[in-house]
Amino acid sequence: MASGAASQPGMTWLGFALMTVFSWGVYGVLLHMGQTSMGDPVNGRYKSFLFVGIAYFLTAVLAPLVVLMLNGASWSLPAKGMGLSLIAGIAGAVGAFSVLLAFGAKGHPAAVMSIVFAGAPVVNAFVAMAQHPPHGGIAAIKPQFWIGLVLAATGGFLVARFRPMPSPPPAAHVQAKPE
């Protein structure tokens, strides 16, 4: 049996999953803030996305290169693995870009991200089932699964529809002119 953390059963995966929840949970708000802070109502979203790309380069290119070198990894890169990984990256980038376009079309970050994060698990469930059909077919799927999908979609709708609205900006103080 292999030694090390990789062979230990436990909940480490949950910690990483929760890190992702947090990271992606603040992503939309930070992206919107970055877009509006560019001071360019027409091209601010594209400028913001440029910096998302730079961040991806730093974290998704340089960091794995360092880890691979430190681990003495083989540099064998099968074409299928490269192709699927590239498509996954494109899908992620298109999603990130689409979020910015939604903001540019006056979508509120709370509404946009609620729909994204409620809808994505539903899409994921169907794609995963298509890739790995359930034993016994669709008829064998427990009703709780279908209820969960409906609840996820309903939750995304409810959060988007009934999100708390920000306070209106304070009214400018008007002084009366002396007569």
User: What confidence category does residue 21 fall into, taking pLDDT thresholds of 50, 70 and 90?
Assistant: confident
Pair 91, 151 in one domain: no
pLDDT of the residue at 83? 96
> What single-letter amino acid sits at 83?
G
Question: Of 86, 107, 128, which closes a domain?
Answer: 107
Residues 102 and 112 grouped into a single domain: no
Judgement on whether residues 98 and 126 belong to the same structural domain of the protein: no
Q: What is the CA radius of gyration of the chain?
A: 22
Residues 49 and 124 in one domain: no
Residue range of the domain that includes 47: 13-107
The reply to whether 101 and 18 lie within a common domain is yes
Residues 38 and 87 in one domain: yes
In the chain, % helix, strand, coil (3-state, to 5) comes to 70, 0, 30
pTM here is: 0.73
Number of domains, the chain: 2
Whether 137 and 74 share a structural domain: no
Query: Is pLDDT of 3 > 50?
Result: no
41 lies in some domain = yes
Query: For residue 146, what pLDDT is reported?
Result: 93
Residue 61 phi/psi, 5° resolution?
Answer: -120, -60
Q: What is the DSSP string of 104-118?
A: HTT--HHHHHHHHHH
pLDDT class of 138 with cuts at 50, 70, 90:
confident
Instruction: Please report whether residue 179 resides in a domain.
Output: no
Contacts of 121 (CB under 8 A, 6+ apart): 152
CA angle centred on 112, ends 109 and 114, rounded to 5°: 100
Q: Are residues 43 and 90 in the same domain?
A: yes
pLDDT, tens digit, 9 for 90 and up, residues 85-107: 999 999 999 999 999 899 889 88
In a domain? residue 71: yes
Per-residue pLDDT band for 160 (boundaries 50, 70, 90) equals confident
Quick one: pLDDT at residue 2?
44
